[in-house]
Structure 1
Amino acid sequence: MPGTPAPPPGSPPGPAPSTADTIAARIERLPRWGLPRLAFVILGLAYFIDIYDVSIVGYTLTPMTEHFHLSTTAVTVMLTGNAIATAVGAFLFGSLGDILGRRRTYLIGMAALGLSALVCALAWDGPSLVVFRVLSGLATGGGLAVCTSYVQEFSPAHRRGRYVSITVLASSVGGLGAAQLSGWLVPLSASGWRWVYGIGALAFVLLLAARPGILPESPRWLAARGRDAETDAIVDAMEERLLRAGETLPQPEVEASEPAPPRFPVARLLKPPFLQRLLVVAAFWFGLQWAVRATLTLQPAILEKMGMSLREITSLTSVGQVLGIAGYLAMPLIIDRVERRTLIVCGLLIATGSTVVIAVGDGSFTSYLIASIMLHGFSPMIFVPGYSYAAEIFPTFARTTGASLAGGLGQVGGITQSLVLVSVIATADPRMSMLLIGAGYAFGALIIFLLAIPTTGRALSAINAAPGPATPATASAERRPSPELS
């Protein structure tokens, strides 16, 4: 049921809204998700497989090292190279998302994830394993930013955070699956780690499920490129689906107009206000990647050095991750009621505290149980609003590029920690290693607390409005206190 957006009451007459403005207004007035629910499952599985691939490294690093007699140098090259490739992949997939579209980039990303998992499982010697793990970083680099942007661009502002949180829920299941499957499969044989990697090849299944009728191209992206007929068909189908379900659709109203796509989108991101947003998110990801990559890949080795067995580590990690799933289930009720930056800062401070608990408790069973609950149980407060914020602060024409570029720059944190902490863990006191991991969480909290802008409940077009006379919606948002650099 196409509709012509009405101007806000009392506003002076102006030029007719563009197709992009009209499409944005029609999506924003939807009462809920307009695509089939199976789309949530398909996008959620992408989160599952991506996080699963990253998480299994920590549980398989020791058996892989022993299986191929990898040196400390080879391990450092593998971890550092993977982080570098992830940064490159983030920019690559982000750019593809804005050039080829969200849907096609998603399909390419899933094919790359499945292939990288398969070749890692089939590695025949140390050098081949190192090469395949480095290249796998390309696949995990930018896929999630494309998924997040996709969900946001089909969501009305009042439910945008809720729908992102539903898909991100699968990432906690991926982390839990990595811990459980590693704990079961790795001890079975010297090649048990191969089966752990091979499971990631299930990404190929998503290529068969992601049909255009279930996972169409983003209408906002299509409208920005003048593909009006395709755009109208997709939004018409969404509206008709909701009308058949008994929903009532109000008259669409244009809140604000985003900038028109420039010839070089990346160059536009290097100018205010998007440059400041890019740097803030990159700094946030730097701290988080430093801490998370070290937690996933190195913390099990630190805990083993403190006297814990792999089975104890995976079991206690799973306790926290089960509680984390409960946290993800609660996030849809919270995320659109509390400002994103508030949730992120609280989650990061709790994560920082978890590393302190392990250090003070000297890696005891009780200390890691408490720390696992703190870290994994409250991680939804970091990742759900974090993924959402990192994409919604950029305009449609460069949303996946901006989110992925910031994520790629943030991977410098993961690269740096692998260069620093691998050698530190080999020589330093494990308690100091844990505190160094926690420093990354604390840095990210400081950045978001000081510099993040408000986004909760605001339309994407209002967050990224083009310069010009403020509409009532954008004017009220601009009156809110904002720490963004001018």
Structure 2
Amino acid sequence: MDDTLDHTTDHTVAARLAARMERLPRTTHSHRGWMVLLGSLFICDLIDTNALAYAAPAIQAEWGLSVGQIGQLTSYSFFGMFVGAILGGRLADRVGRRRTVVWATVLYSVASLLCALAPTVAVLGVLRVVTGVGIQAVTGVLIVYVAEMFPGASRGRCQALMLGIGLLGVPLAAGAARVIVPLSPNAWRWLFVFGAIGLVPALVARFVLPESVRWAVLNGRVAEATATVERLEAQSAHPLPEIVDVPVVHERKRPAELFAHGIRKRTVVATLTLVFGILGFYGFNSWVPTLLVERGYSTTEALTITTIFSVAPFAGALVGMVLADRFQRRTTSMVLTAVIAASMLVFAFTGSHWLLVVSGFVVTLLLQTNTAVLYAYLPEVFPTGLRGLGAGFANGFGRLAGFGNAFLIAAIAGALGFGGVFTATAVFILLAGLTVGLFGERTRGRRLEEIGEYAS
């Protein structure tokens, strides 16, 4: 078949297949299998993301590095994520969702293996940039895939479930580090070997995961897309509703169209939301242990408190499953960030130990809930031909904010102390919620094409 459909029929075919996808009342057996695979890819993503953090003390000891040099290594990963989010998004729009996920996973897995062989901190730094490119390319395309391939009525719930499964990668990485790192002074290298485990689900995805129906039909692979839709319909346990067609202008788009009339506002809103959100998210989570010690807690007390907080992300993802499809996502995010900001201020200024612990737990929990809501919202607001790049652009600049976050928060801590840092993170997270809440799009109860293809 030709690479592109005949222009007189492509819109009709795209609209009909999209309508058949949207009418699916619930997830099917195939959807559930895909979710296990996507969640596994996300687990591996987070294992590799956290590998450096857990290996850092041993690396610092073996190579005699300063705290500043370790901080630079961490920031290199964020820079790679900035590149990976945008590059991965563009590739997903050009060569396909599945192919990008598979090869980006291979990229960061191979880079992680090479990290295990790194002879110097400079080489390790370069490899962490490459690792960051692959990791964020995968993350960005996974949320696009869920948006396009799972039933519209449960898109938010499915995004939250994938996030919840992926978060298992954090304790897995911590557990592996606890076993591996103490074995010898250079055993930390094996932690990066463990970080390459993503090669396994990548191989499975290559043969099991179908291409996104929406991307496939946009790129002339109509028979493949139709076969996938027919399989999902056959697995549906209940009679399917009537097909309700919506005329769709379904076509490839140039990257510059992210800033064309009708899409520009969405790009700016999504980008600012992610920038403010990541400043607030990492500003809080990355600095709590250090600043608790600065405030007068012992290292043991600080680690005890953060261990309590570590339970919260999983609960936050579960709360996201409850909320993501129940209300408008933009409204949900605005309310969540208001509660998070208020809790951060309590955490910043309370003199009560138990109130500090409770408020910090609430912040950590709801930050993940808000992440689940934004993961659902982000890919919905862009048309199919720009969905990967649009979500990647916003996410990429958010990661760039994460790159600068360490320097910004360090400056605020030096000037304003504990209370000043968490007041700043409260302001950042509130700005994220206000941006999407006041200027974002309504997405709940609307079909993907209805939201994204008719930007105005």
TM range, normalised to the smaller chain? 0.7 to 0.9
Report the Cα offset of residue 297 of structure 1: 3.9
- 1:413: how far off? 1.6
Other-structure match for 2:127 = 132
Contact 2:279 2:425 in 1 (8 A): yes
Distance (Å, rounded) in 2 between the aligned partners of 1:102 and 1:398: 12
SS in 2 for 1:415: helix
Q: Is residue 445 from structure 1 mapped to residue 433 from structure 2 by the alignment?
A: yes
How far 1:22 moved relative to its partner?
A: 0.8
Distance verdict in 2 for CA 1:354–1:334, change over 3 Å: closer
2:88 corresponds to? 93
Q: TM-score, normalised by structure 2?
A: 0.87
Conserved 8 A contact 1:57-1:296: no
Q: Aligned partners of 2:103 and 2:430: how far apart in 1?
A: 35
Cα RMSD for the two superposed structures: 3.0
Aligned twin of 1:289: 278
Deviations 1:178-200 (A, max 9, x none): 45555666667655654544432
Q: CA deviation at 1:330?
A: 4.0
Q: Which runs of 5+ in 1 are unaligned?
A: 1-13, 468-485
Distance in 2 separating the partners of 1:251 and 1:378: 38
Matched residue type, 1:419: F
Query: Does 2:240 match 1:249?
Result: yes
Deviates further, 373-382 or 384-393: 373-382
Partner of 1:455: 443
Contact 1:176 1:322 in 2 (8 A): no
Distance 1:109 1:420 in 2: 30
Give the C-alpha shift of residue 260 in structure 1: 2.3
1:93-126 deviation per Cα after TM superposition (whole angstroms, max 9, x unaligned) = 0011111101101101211232233333443333
Structure 2: where are the runs of 5+ without partners? 1-7
Measure, in 1, the Cα distance between the counterparts of 2:141 and 2:284.
25
AA partner of residue 435 (structure 1): T
Whether 2:75 is the aligned partner of 1:106: answer no
Aligned to 2:4: none
Aligned length: 448
CA contact (8 A) 1:150 1:218 kept: yes
Q: Which amino acid counterpart does residue 462 of structure 1 have in structure 2?
A: E
Q: C-alpha distance in 2, partners of 1:121/1:286?
A: 32
State the alpha-carbon separation in 2 of the partners of residues 174 and 352 from structure 1. Answer: 27
- Rate the CA distance shift 1:370–1:84 in 2: closer, same or farther, 3 A: same
Correspondence 1:404 to 2:392 = yes
Residue number in structure 1 paired with 2:219: 225
Secondary structure of the equivalent of 1:378? helix
- The code of the aligned residue for 1:42 comes to L
Higher mean displacement: 191-200 or 24-33: 191-200
Provide the rounded CA distance (Å) in 2 between the counterparts of 1:338 and 1:317.
31
| Distance apart, 1:89 and its partner CA | 0.9
Shifted more, 290-299 versus 334-343: the winner is 290-299
Letter in 2 for 1:93: G
Q: Residues 83 and 411 of structure 1 are in contact (CA less than 8 Å); yes or no, is this contact kept in structure 2?
A: yes
> Match of 2:229?
235
Percent identity (aligned): 27
CA contact (8 A) 1:90 1:404 kept: yes
Partner of residue 332, structure 1:
321
Equivalent runs, 1:75-90 vs 2, <5 Å:
75-90=70-85
Partner of 1:344: 333
Which residue identity does 1:383 align to in structure 2? Answer: T
Counterpart of 1:23 in structure 2 is: 17
Q: Cα distance 1:142–1:192, how it changes in 2: closer, same or farther (>3 A)?
A: same
Alignment of 1:125-204 (within 5 A): 125-178=120-173, 190-191=185-186, 193-204=188-199
Q: Is the 8 A contact 1:90 1:142 kept in 2?
A: yes
1-side partners of 2:53 and 2:423: how far apart? 18
CA distance in 1 between partners of 2:9 and 2:408 (Å)? 57
TM-aligned CA distance change 1:63 to 1:256, over 3 Å = farther
1:399-432 C-alpha deviation (Å, 9 max, x unpaired) = 1111001111222321221333345557863443
Candidates 287, 300, 311, aligned match of 2:289: 300
**Shift, 1:226, TM fit:** 1.9
Q: Are the counterparts in 1 of residues 320 and 370 from structure 2 also a CA contact under 8 Å?
A: no
8 A contact 1:113–1:201 mirrored in 2: yes
Q: Quick check: 384-393 or 312-321, which moved more? A: 312-321
1:227-254 deviation line (CA, Å, top 9, x unaligned): 2111111212222222xxx421223111
CA contact (8 A) 1:162 1:331 kept: yes
- 8 Å contact 1:79–1:418 — kept in the other structure? no
Question: Does the alignment pair 1:260 with 2:251?
Answer: yes
- Of 423, 426, 439, 1:435 maps to 423
Q: What is the TM-score of this pair, normalised by structure 1?
A: 0.82
Which amino acid in the other structure matches residue 399 of structure 2?
Q
Q: Is the 8 A contact 2:285 2:364 kept in 1?
A: no
SS in 1 for 2:168: helix
Q: How far off is 1:218 after superposition?
A: 0.7
The residue number in structure 2 matching 1:5 is: none
Distance 1:431 1:331, change over 3 A: closer
1:319 aligns with 2:308: yes
CA 1:162–1:83 in structure 2 vs 1: closer, same or farther (change >3 Å)?
same
Aligned to 1:385: 373
- Within 1, Cα distance between the matches of 2:31 and 2:136? 27
Question: For residues 189 and 443 of structure 1, what CA distance do their matches in structure 2 show?
Answer: 46
Query: What do residues 31-58 of structure 1 show as CA deviations (whole Å, max 9, x unaligned)?
Result: 2224252211111122223234444555
More deviation, 88-97/70-79: 70-79
Letter matched to residue 240 of structure 1: A
1:322/1:311 CA distance change after superposition, 3 Å: same
Query: 2: distance between equivalents of 1:216 and 1:139?
Result: 21
